[in-house]
């Protein structure tokens, strides 16, 4: 029996979340159909995280067990032929049988896109949250520093959600306008395209957070609070007060799912134990 690890990306707006639903389409369900068609056997797909309806992924990781001897290269081609364009498999790798996409993970990273300009976008609407009021990104970024460290995140998890362990180790968190992350300093060197791209990047705010684990809707609840800080409705140190209070009612509203992306799942190096075929 082989254990196959998949790295996938998907448009979450097309599905009712990653996890299989009884009556609504999910990423897991479609993946299992594709594997059944390619491998000629049923296999349960286990994901590293259960993204909500509308949440996207560019670095989701899954695994499944199979007796099929199809090579990883042929699995990659076959699965993408079945799945694309809504779900794309970026990498296929055979890993040790003990590997588990969820329990072997050592951390995850998400980012959230905010379109911050006076008018919305017909093209970016499915992938960003439009805020027409000007946001103070410096204040938002300063507030992010209160998130870093091992803390009780009860105040940022969804009200009524289960789970007794609310301790999360946030390794990194920041807010930035996209143009500040672009490696070139002279957009005019790229001609008219460079100017258009640079102007758009000034209108997009990126929130990035990396942690060992995430509570239910934690990232979106943090974003909702950061937006209120950016609008100067809340002070920068409100993050610290919410963490101390452990009360969800003290935080801002939940940001919509369409701006959220699962960016990466982190694992320890298995290069000596795994092999790509």
**Mean of pLDDT values over 82-105:** 95
Please indicate whether residue 62 or residue 160 has the higher confidence score (pLDDT): 62
The answer to whether the predicted template modeling score (pTM) of the entire model surpasses 0.95 is no
**Mean of pLDDT values over 110-123:** 96
Asked if domains 2-104 and 107-264 share a fold, the reply is: yes
**Mean of pLDDT values over 175-194:** 75
Catalytic residue numbers, as ranges: 52
Please indicate whether residue 161 or residue 85 has the higher confidence score (pLDDT): 85
**Mean of pLDDT values over 96-125:** 96
Q: Residue 128 above 70 pLDDT?
A: yes
The two structure tokens encoding residue 166 = 């609310």
Determine the pLDDT at residue 23: 75
Determine the pLDDT at residue 272: 41
Structural domain boundaries of the chain?
2-104, 107-264
DSSP calls for the chain: -EEEEEEEEE-GGGSS-SS--SSS--HHHHHHHHHHHHHSS----EES--PPTT-EEEEEEEEEEE-----HHHHHHHHHHHHTTTEEEEEEEEE-TT--TTTT--EEEEEEEEEESSS--TTTGGGSEEE-S---HHHHHHHHTTT-EEEE-GGGSPTT---S--EEEEEEEEEEEGGGG-S-S-GGGGHHHHHHHHHHHHHEEEEEEEES---TTHHHHHHHHHHHHHTTSS-TTHHHHHHHHT-GGGS-PPPPGGGEEEEEEE----TTT-B--
Architecture of domain 107-264: 2-Layer Sandwich (3.30)
Query: pLDDT-based confidence at 270, cuts 50/70/90?
Result: low
Q: Regarding the domain delimited by 2-104, which CATH topology (the fold level of the hierarchy) does it fall under? A: Alpha-Beta Plaits (3.30.70)
The two structure tokens encoding residue 32 = 């299992």
């Amino acid at each position: 029996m082989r254990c196959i690890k998949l790295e996938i990306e998907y448009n979450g707006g097309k599905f009712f979340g990653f996890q299989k639903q009884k009556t609504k389409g999910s990423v897991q369900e479609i993946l299992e159909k594709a594997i059944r068609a390619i491998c000629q056997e049923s296999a349960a797909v286990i994901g590293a995280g259960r993204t909500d309806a509308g949440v996207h992924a560019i670095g989701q990781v899954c695994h499944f067990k199979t007796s099929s001897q199809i090579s990883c290269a042929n699995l990659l081609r076959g699965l993408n032929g079945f799945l694309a364009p809504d779900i794309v498999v970026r990498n296929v790798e055979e890993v040790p049988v003990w590997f588990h996409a969820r329990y072997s993970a050592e951390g995850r990273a998400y980012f959230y896109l905010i379109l911050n300009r006076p008018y919305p976008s017909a093209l970016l609407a499915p992938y960003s949250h439009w805020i027409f009021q000007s946001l103070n990104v410096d204040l938002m970024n300063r507030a992010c520093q209160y998130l870093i460290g091992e803390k009780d995140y009860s105040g940022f998890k969804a009200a009524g959600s289960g789970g007794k362990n609310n301790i999360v180790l946030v390794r990194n968190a920041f807010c930035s306008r996209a143009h500040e992350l672009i490696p070139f300093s002279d957009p005019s060197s790229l001609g008219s395209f460079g100017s258009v791209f640079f102007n758009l990047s000034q209108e997009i705010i990126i929130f990035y957070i990396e942690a060992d684990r995430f509570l239910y809707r934690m990232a979106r609840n943090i974003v909702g609070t950061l937006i209120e800080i950016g609008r100067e409705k809340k002070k920068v140190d409100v993050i610290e007060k919410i963490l101390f209070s452990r009360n969800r009612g003290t935080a801002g509203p939940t940001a919509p799912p369409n701006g959220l992306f699962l960016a990466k799942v982190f694992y320890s190096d298995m290069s000596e134990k795994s092999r790509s075929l």
